[in-house]
């Protein structure tokens, strides 16, 4: 019976040591899991901060780009013709058209009374061509300035809207 008691004692001691070991391992595992959770939370927070910093930098870059575009467009608007200048250009166009018509009429009369070989006739034709060229150029400039002004105003309003929305 002593041997049976010895085995029972050894078994109880072994089971007790096993329980103690199991308990220590469980506590150690819980500590490791807690440290793991803390580390995961820390890394997650750092990642979110880095992403928000990147997002902030991108937004700042966009705002700076929009401000630069607005500044350039404002400079272009300062150089664009004023409504008074546009009106003056339109008056010049009308005057040049009338001058062309007058010169055409003079040319018609000159053709009736003079031969085509005369230098006066060639001078009138040259003046008419020059005036027509100048008229086309001024007309194109007026249209270009008008559309440029309209586009610049549109872009300014869009940029201001974007800046307001972003800010």
pLDDT in tens, 2-24: 777 888 888 888 888 889 989 99
Higher-pLDDT residue of 120, 143: 143
Indicate the burial class of 155 (C-beta count within 10 angstroms; 0-12, 13-18, 19 or more): middle
Q: Is the pLDDT of residue 132 over 80?
A: yes
Q: Is the pLDDT of residue 114 over 70?
A: no
Overall average pLDDT of the 94-108 stretch? 87
Cα-trace Rg, the chain = 46
Distance CA 122, CA 107 (A): 9
Q: Is the pLDDT of residue 96 over 60?
A: yes
The predicted pLDDT at position 35 comes to 93
The string of DSSP letters for 66-122 reads: HHHHHHHHHHHHHHSPPHHHHHHHHHHHHHHHHHHHHHHHHHHHHHHHS-TTSHHHH
Tens-place pLDDT, residues 31-62? 999 999 999 999 888 888 877 777 878 888 88
Distance CA 154, CA 69 (A): 12
Higher-pLDDT residue of 117, 49: 49
Give whichever of 87-101, 107-121, 152-166 has the largest mean pLDDT. Answer: 87-101
Q: What is the pTM of this model?
A: 0.35
Higher-pLDDT residue of 55, 92: 92
Indicate the burial class of 124 (C-beta count within 10 angstroms; 0-12, 13-18, 19 or more): buried
DSSP tag of 1 = -
Q: Is the pLDDT of residue 116 over 60?
A: no
Would you say 159 and 70 are in contact if contact means Cβ atoms under 8 Å apart? yes
C-alpha pair distances (Å), 33 with each of 5, 62, 81: 41, 43, 73
């Amino acid at each position: 019976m002593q041997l049976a008691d010895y085995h029972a004692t050894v078994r109880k001691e072994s089971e007790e040591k096993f329980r103690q070991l199991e308990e220590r391992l469980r506590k150690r595992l819980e500590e490791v899991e807690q440290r793991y959770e803390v580390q995961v939370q820390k890394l997650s927070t750092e990642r979110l901060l880095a992403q928000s910093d990147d997002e902030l930098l991108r937004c700042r870059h966009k705002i700076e780009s929009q401000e630069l575009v607005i500044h350039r467009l404002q400079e272009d608007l300062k150089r664009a013709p004023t409504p008074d200048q546009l009106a003056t250009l339109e008056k010049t166009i009308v005057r040049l058209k009338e001058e062309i018509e007058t010169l055409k009429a003079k040319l018609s009369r000159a053709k009736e009374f003079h031969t085509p070989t005369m230098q006066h006739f060639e001078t009138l034709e040259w003046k008419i061509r020059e005036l027509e060229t100048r008229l086309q150029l001024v007309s194109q400039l007026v249209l270009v300035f008008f559309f440029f002004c309209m586009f610049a105003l549109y872009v300014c309003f869009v940029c201001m809207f974007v800046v307001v929305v972003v800010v």
